[in-house]
Amino acid sequence: MILNLFSGTNEGLLFGVFGIVIILFLAIDLGLVHKGPAKITQKDALLQTIFWVIVSCIFGGLIYFFGGGADDALEYFSAYVTEKALSVDNIFVILLILRYFKIKDEYYHDILFWGILGAIIFRAIFIFLGALLIGEFHWILYIFGVFLVYSGIKIFNEDDDMEIEPEKNILTRWAKKILPISTDDRGGRFAFVEKGKLWFTPLFLVILLIESTDLIFAVDSIPAAFAITQNEFVIYTSNIFAVMGLRAMFFLLANILDRFYLLQKGLSIVLIFIGVKMLMEMSIVQQGFQMAFGIEHAHIPIIWSFIVIMVALTLSIILSIMFPQEEEIVEPVETTKN
């Protein structure tokens, strides 16, 4: 099952195109576009966001024409949109981390670059292991379904306020114990050598924290992708294209995230829906549909899955804009003079 791509002679070509695009733009970004600390403007963030959306859509078109046809293309776009939506929560947590450590704006780009590079590697491992487990134990898909329904309900009932406690993160606590950590960032460096001794800066701790939180978010996004399709190539490429656009989306949305307060509700509906869709494939559920409605095989077509995902997320954004959240007014406390 591992690396189960498309049938035909174009699977190697698509995989090669994907690899070239990712490696090329990572190399250009690291070596040519950003050679030093620099603050990303809102205009640059918008252009980069549009660019990655276009590239992602073009690749979806390649899957349609040279891969598995309309169904695989719809699965790709469904997984891509779902991962994009899940990334919004990820962006919010990254913003909280950067603000907690009081990181300068001009260092954001490099931190997010290495964070995304780590996400590319770890998500490949997650998807590989997930595909291996599903290939051996197909019933794991139903555990994913239950987990997604639970996550959706949990997210729906969560408060908007989110706090982070980096000092309680196991990875950062471990790093502080075994690594020499300096008190300054040394002009945006992650590590430096002084008097023959290797030191790590607080920026290195920030990267570790961002990587660990991305792994936590992957626990939601990877099962969600497997609920949409079991094609590892579609899962990985849609995930990575969504992640590649994460940094630009961070700079674009960092200051306006609070306006889309209903997006979390829309995302919870999506997770519940795809979790239920996966559970519908269980034999006991299929038997229930056959006994109750005479339906031999209950199945939600991928086109309807895509429509539900798009409608839920789009409506949550539109309603957030139409009915903005009221800001709490804190009234001054009156004091009496003695």
Tell me the pLDDT tens digit for each residue of 242-272. Answer: 988 888 888 887 767 778 888 888 889 998 9
- Output the pLDDT for position 238: 93
pLDDT digits (tens, 9 = 90+) for 15-26: 888 989 888 888
Give the closest residue to 153 by CA, choosing from 279, 19, 273: 273
Question: In this predicted structure, which of 118-122, 173-177, 283-287 has the lowest mean pLDDT?
Answer: 283-287
Question: Does residue 4 surpass a pLDDT of 80?
Answer: no
CA separation, residue 146 to residues 13, 135, 157 (Å) = 36, 19, 17
How far apart (Å, rounded) are the C-alpha atoms in residues 205 and 200? 8
pLDDT digits (tens, 9 = 90+) for 95-143: 888 888 888 888 888 888 888 888 888 888 888 888 888 888 888 888 8
pTM equals 0.81
pLDDT digits (tens, 9 = 90+) for 193-243: 888 889 988 888 888 888 888 887 787 788 888 888 888 889 999 999 998
- Output the pLDDT for position 338: 45
- Output the pLDDT for position 162: 57
